[in-house]
Amino acid sequence: MEFVNREEGLAFLEKLYKEEAFQFVVLYGRRRVGKTQLVKEFIEGKPAIYFLANSISESEQLKNLGREVGEFFNDPMKWGQS
């Protein structure tokens, strides 16, 4: 997907990222308008975990998320993975 006309959103996320305080941002909108690509562009080159949930069971979701977190911190045992 081409990244077009999202400079304002990207600048907004960058501004929040540079602040000292904790930030929680919710992205919402119609389907297929570039929300996922905006997040991927924003986290590029930053220490980040990108996890996209899908329609599998909650326990599988948690296992997959734990695996991603373990890989990020290079500590699979810490997150219950062996």
Contact call for residues 16 and 23 (beta carbons, < 8 A): yes
Length of the chain: 82
The verdict on 2 and 39 lying in the same domain is yes
pLDDT in the model for residue 53: 87
**C-alpha triplet 41, 53, 26: angle, nearest 5°:** 55
The verdict on 62 and 37 lying in the same domain is no
The verdict on 15 and 33 lying in the same domain is yes
pLDDT in tens, 12-63: 999 999 999 998 898 888 888 889 999 999 999 999 999 988 899 999 999 9
pLDDT of 80 over the 90 cut: no
Domain that holds residue 1: 1-46
Q: How many domains does the chain have?
A: 2
The verdict on 3 and 36 lying in the same domain is yes
The verdict on 34 and 58 lying in the same domain is no
Contact call for residues 67 and 81 (beta carbons, < 8 A): yes
What is the band of 82 on the pLDDT scale with cuts at 50, 70, 90?
A: low
pTM for the whole thing?
0.74
The verdict on 42 and 55 lying in the same domain is no
